[in-house]
């Protein structure tokens, strides 16, 4: 934002927008970039490990518009609380401008300021991660919750309480799946459609891309069976050019001519794609493959749970045990033993967590608000962790 008042004393001269652009005229004779031209380098969010610099061609942004911006019109105003150094913030702004609309930029998402901003600037569209949607639902309902200009929300992924969200705020909700390396190749089908009963699906592959679900050796698996999602573009330069300074990582990602997402998906007979888990977050317990994403969805459906994250922790029997880190709803006195007993009545036996830790917040990336599970794994057996098998909290001396 431009200067609204005199700045504090600084060791350098601060130039305001009016001074910077004084006497400047728009450049109208510049040639447009080609699809193969390098647009930018954006670092991944770092949810599973160190961030990597992704080299993004202009073709990736152009193709992402088919998913994230195809519904936008020149009279739309997008609310963008994500940083411009991340693909979420940049893609929302870019697709809106491509459609001729306007963008309202905010440095971060603030629950208490969100609706005031929406009404003040006449915002019609916003993208959200689940935490943002849950924070809005956790607020005390107001008579004017659904009276603002907001028409459409891109929620990635969809929360279990989606129908409550849509009814309370009177919005249409769409979804998609995307990565810094790929743009948004999967989206609600048809791509302008509101999410209905099949909210667990990320949508279908968009026309500009191809998708396969493969096993560890890159052989395609049958519909309904989980495997890694691999992608390629039907048009040149629709995916990333590679990782900056990481030739080995680039080659590994592009194995056998397909980009390997590192995400486990399954596909139904109608072509709908379902996120199962990150490969690095997938669990194996007692010979069963367990999706941390599905564990979280079931725990989050509990009426006294606000948010949770599921991780695998070492088991004395080999493979993994399941631990959940839970934020309880405000004003709720939720006991770990009670929560686990109630979960056992609604979850398959092999998915019921052994450990639970109540926390006040989950570590999240600054850019995307995604949970940093790598930090939760740093000290999983702490004195705040309840062991369902032992029926007690772990002591400080436990491993």
Residue 365 has what pLDDT?
A: 81
CATH class of the region 35-278? alpha beta
Q: What angle do the packed helices 58-68 and 87-98 form, to 10 degrees?
A: 80
Scanning 185-308, the segments in alpha helix (DSSP H) are 247-253, 292-300
Residue 157: CB partners within 8 Å, gap ≥ 6? Answer: 130, 175, 177, 202, 275
Residue 49 has what pLDDT?
A: 64
80, pLDDT greater than 80: yes
**pLDDT tens across 102-124, in order?**
999 998 899 999 999 999 999 99
230-246: average pLDDT: 96
**pLDDT tens across 277-298, in order?**
888 887 888 777 788 988 998 9
Domain boundaries, the chain: 35-278, 282-393
Grade residue 399 by pLDDT with cuts at 50, 70 and 90: very low
How many whole angstroms separate alpha carbon 340 and alpha carbon 171?
34
Q: What angle do the packed helices 162-169 and 130-138 form, to 10 degrees?
A: 60
How much of the chain is in helix, strand and coil states, percent to nearest 5?
Answer: 25, 25, 50
317, pLDDT greater than 90: no
How many whole angstroms separate alpha carbon 243 and alpha carbon 143?
49
43-68: average pLDDT: 82
Q: Has domain 282-393 been given CATH number 3.30.300.30? A: yes
């Amino acid at each position: 934002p431009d200067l609204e008042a005199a700045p504090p004393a600084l060791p350098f001269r601060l130039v305001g927008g009016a001074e910077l652009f004084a006497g400047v005229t728009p450049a109208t004779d510049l040639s447009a970039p080609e699809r193969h031209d390098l647009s930018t380098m954006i670092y991944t969010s770092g949810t599973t490990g160190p961030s990597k610099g992704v080299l993004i061609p202009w073709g990736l942004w152009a193709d992402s518009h088919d998913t994230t911006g195809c519904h936008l019109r020149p009279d739309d105003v997008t609310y963008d609380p994500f940083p411009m150094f991340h693909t979420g913030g940049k893609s929302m702004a870019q697709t809106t401008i491509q459609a001729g609309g306007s963008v309202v930029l905010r440095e971060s998402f603030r629950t208490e300021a969100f609706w005031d901003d929406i009404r003040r600037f006449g915002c019609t569209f916003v993208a959200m991660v689940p935490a943002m949607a849950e924070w809005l639902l956790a607020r005390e309902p107001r008579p004017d919750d659904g009276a603002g200009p907001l028409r459409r929300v891109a929620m990635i992924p969809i929360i279990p309480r989606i129908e409550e969200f849509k009814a309370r705020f009177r919005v249409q909700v769409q979804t998609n799946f995307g990565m810094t390396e790929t743009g948004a190749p999967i989206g609600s089908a048809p791509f302008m459609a509101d999410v209905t009963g099949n909210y667990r699906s990320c949508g279908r592959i968009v026309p500009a891309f191809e998708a396969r679900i493969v096993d560890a050796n890159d052989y395609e698996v049958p519909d309904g069976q989980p495997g890694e999602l691999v992608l390629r573009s039907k048009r040149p330069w629709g995916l990333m050019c590679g990782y900056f300074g990481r030739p080995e990582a680039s080659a590994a990602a592009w194995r056998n001519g397909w980009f390997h997402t590192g995400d486990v998906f399954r596909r139904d007979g109608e072509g709908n794609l379902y996120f199962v888990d990150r490969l690095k977050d997938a669990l194996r317990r007692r010979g069963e493959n367990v999706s941390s994403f599905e564990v979280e969805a079931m725990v989050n459906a509990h009426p006294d749970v606000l948010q949770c994250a599921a991780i695998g922790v070492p088991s004395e029997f080999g493979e993994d045990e399941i631990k959940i880190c839970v934020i309880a709803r405000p004003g709720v006195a939720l006991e770990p033993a009670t929560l686990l007993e109630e979960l056992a009545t609604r979850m398959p036996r092999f998915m019921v967590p052994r450990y639970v830790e109540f926390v006040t917040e989950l570590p999240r990336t600054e850019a995307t608000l995604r949970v940093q599970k790598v930090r939760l794994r740093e000290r999983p057996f702490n004195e705040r962790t309840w062991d369902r098998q032992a029926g007690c909290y772990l002591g400080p001396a436990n491993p």
